Structure 1
Amino acid sequence: MSSILIADLNACSRDDFVAALGNVFEYSPWIAEQATLARPFDGVQQLFDAMKTVVDQAAPELRLALIKGHPDLANKAQRAAGLTAESSAEQNGAGLDRLSDAEFEAFERVNSAYRTKFGIPYIVCARRHTRNSILRDFEHRLPNDTATEVQNSIDEIYRIAALRVAELVVSEDRLDVFGRLSTHVLDAHSGRPAAGVAIELVELSDLGISRVVTRTITNADGRTDQPLIHHRPVPIGCYELTFSVGPYFAGRQVATSNPPFLDQIPLRFSVSEPESHLHVPLLVTPWSYATYRGS
């Protein structure tokens, strides 16, 4: 999707407005069409609030149609028939196009159970989750009643739409939909930032193959040039951050044992707040290390 200025959305025709924002809510351009009546918008927050108001005030049958317009997660038949570009990118970003057999079977089971009970697709903002946390959310929501799940579906649709709007509309204000994961390595042996430490971030999976999120190297400040995850939510789930400190100390000719007492340091941690800033630093010597939950 190409970006568009909020000023241009205020000035354009209704048809152009709908063409630009019609896919923000899945297969529901009527929401963008009705939101044009609230123009002009001071910023992206006011625009998004206007679109939410359209949904909030819509007839129950329209809200139900909005819910039913969303695809099942990791459904091979629906993927073959063709998802919207937005849904495809969002599901692929969560790794739902690369499921193990065990994960695919688990998704089929919970999708079927959810549809059987509620008569609607299970909807979750996939960009805020890992494969593990989506499956856990399925199980958490299955005991609910239908009214609760209809509202949960609308709330998740709002999260999906907010991310689409945030990436599409350029405005002085911003929607609070992105998080950040960062790290910092301090060489406590020499009392300085540790430059040149190789780092790998992996998303862990209970049923499938853990996948590498990013690989990078610390800079002169002991940080990475870019956060490990940024300009998107930090997906709920479990991760492992591995620091290659053995080669770092060897490269600085620090006396260590052979083989080194500390070579690869793996830190396992969990993310529960996708829109927050989570900082996972490492303080290290050849013989010890420490970490903490920063922000």
Structure 2
Amino acid sequence: MTASPIPLAELNACSKADFVAALANIFEYSPWIAEKAADARPFVGIAQLFEAMQAAVERAPPELRLALIKAHPDLADKTQRVAGLTLESNAEQNSAGLDRLSDAEYTAFQRVNNAYRARFGFPYIVCVRRHTKDSILRDFEKRLPNDAAAETATSIAEICRIAALRLDQAVRADDRLPVHGRLSTHVLDTHSGRPAAGIPLELVELSALGESRVIVRMTTNHDGRTDQPLIGGRPVPIGNYELRFTVAGYFAERNVALSDPPFLDVIPLRFAVAEPEAHLHVPLLVTPWSYATYRGS
């Protein structure tokens, strides 16, 4: 990937060789896709560019589509990391924490990688930026019983999802690809009937086999919201999360009578994400003695 996005107008005007060089790794180690798409220029938007690249994949003969699948690395494979992943694959795997697995997680990934390769003869492929470690392992298990034709089709679909996210990062255009979601929150003090400002919170990604990890720490602003989304500008990975709100100090600062220790201090809200490109809003309605939430959008 380039350090900064390339303007679409520049891609439309450059030589075919430069076009291919700029987009060679949108599809892993497969510059032939960019080469095919170059012939369809000029593009009016990034969506049309992506459609041309996707069409090149769909029209390719089966042996070339299989080679595209086999060009991808196994997930969480230490040997392949030493040998050298593409910058794109390395960043994508790191985003899901696949570079810092617990022993139990590494064993689980090694087991399903080997089982998948033994069954289908090619690597398991998933768009890891849409997933957490736990959801990848669940997806592995769901897909293992499939037949080769179904997995070939699923693999190509996942490759196109990976490519769409890479293209969205690599090219600047007036339009955008629908590849990002958003997770947001706000806190309403229902004791006083106003937004709750100054409440510390943290978002934690939960893990079944390894350590849970803090994704972000923020403090609510004057509107009871955070200045930025908890997750934004990328997919919200499928998985289980916990939002932790520290509320006792907020009420104490407003001279609200509290028990000692406070009945509610840190409030944990556990929820799951199933749609990475959706907007999920998880608010907190709170008094010193009660709280509620709901699934907003």
Q: Determine if the TM-score, normalized by the shorter chain, exceeds 0.5.
A: yes
**Deviation per CA, 1:67-91, whole angstroms, max 9, x where unpaired?**
0000000000000111000000000
- Supply the distance in 1 between the matched residues of 2:249 and 2:153 (Cα, whole angstroms): 52
**Cα offset for 1:167?**
1.1
| Residue number in structure 1 paired with 2:296 | 294
| Residue number in structure 2 paired with 1:279 | 281
| Residue number in structure 2 paired with 1:129 | 131
| Residue number in structure 2 paired with 1:55 | 57
**Cα offset for 1:59?**
1.1
**Cα offset for 1:250?**
1.2
Alignment of 1:3-14 (within 5 A): 3-14=5-16
- Supply the distance in 2 between the matched residues of 1:294 and 1:34 (Cα, whole angstroms): 43
| Residue number in structure 1 paired with 2:90 | 88
- Supply the distance in 2 between the matched residues of 1:252 and 1:17 (Cα, whole angstroms): 60
Alignment of 1:10-159 (within 5 A): 10-159=12-161
| Residue number in structure 1 paired with 2:205 | 203
Alignment of 1:125-274 (within 5 A): 125-274=127-276
**Cα offset for 1:254?**
1.1
Size of the aligned set, in residue pairs, is 295
- Supply the distance in 2 between the matched residues of 1:28 and 1:250 (Cα, whole angstroms): 60
**Deviation per CA, 1:160-179, whole angstroms, max 9, x where unpaired?**
00000111111111100000
**Cα offset for 1:251?**
1.7
Query: Which deviates the most, 153-162 or 5-14?
Result: 5-14
**Cα offset for 1:279?**
0.1
**Deviation per CA, 1:209-238, whole angstroms, max 9, x where unpaired?**
000100000000000000000000000000
Q: Which amino acid aligns with 1:108?
A: Q
**Cα offset for 1:104?**
0.2
- Supply the distance in 1 between the matched residues of 2:44 and 2:112 (Cα, whole angstroms): 42
**Cα offset for 1:252?**
1.6
- Supply the distance in 1 between the matched residues of 2:49 and 2:182 (Cα, whole angstroms): 25
- Supply the distance in 1 between the matched residues of 2:220 and 2:169 (Cα, whole angstroms): 28
**Deviation per CA, 1:30-63, whole angstroms, max 9, x where unpaired?**
1001100100101000000000000000111111
SS state of the match for residue 103, structure 1?
helix
Give the unaligned 5+ runs of structure 2. Answer: none
Runs of 4+ in 1 over 6 A off after TM superposition: none
**Cα offset for 1:147?**
0.4
Using structure 2 for the length normalisation, give the TM-score: 0.99
Give the unaligned 5+ runs of structure 1. Answer: none
SS state of the match for residue 216, structure 1?
strand
Using structure 1 for the length normalisation, give the TM-score: 0.99
SS state of the match for residue 208, structure 2?
coil
- Supply the distance in 2 between the matched residues of 1:250 and 1:168 (Cα, whole angstroms): 49
**Cα offset for 1:243?**
0.3
Q: Which amino acid aligns with 1:6?
A: L
- Supply the distance in 1 between the matched residues of 2:217 and 2:44 (Cα, whole angstroms): 40
**Deviation per CA, 1:239-264, whole angstroms, max 9, x where unpaired?**
00000001111122211111111000
Give me the CA root mean square deviation: 0.5
- Supply the distance in 2 between the matched residues of 1:109 and 1:68 (Cα, whole angstroms): 19
**Deviation per CA, 1:91-135, whole angstroms, max 9, x where unpaired?**
000000010000000000000000000000000000000000000
SS state of the match for residue 38, structure 1?
coil
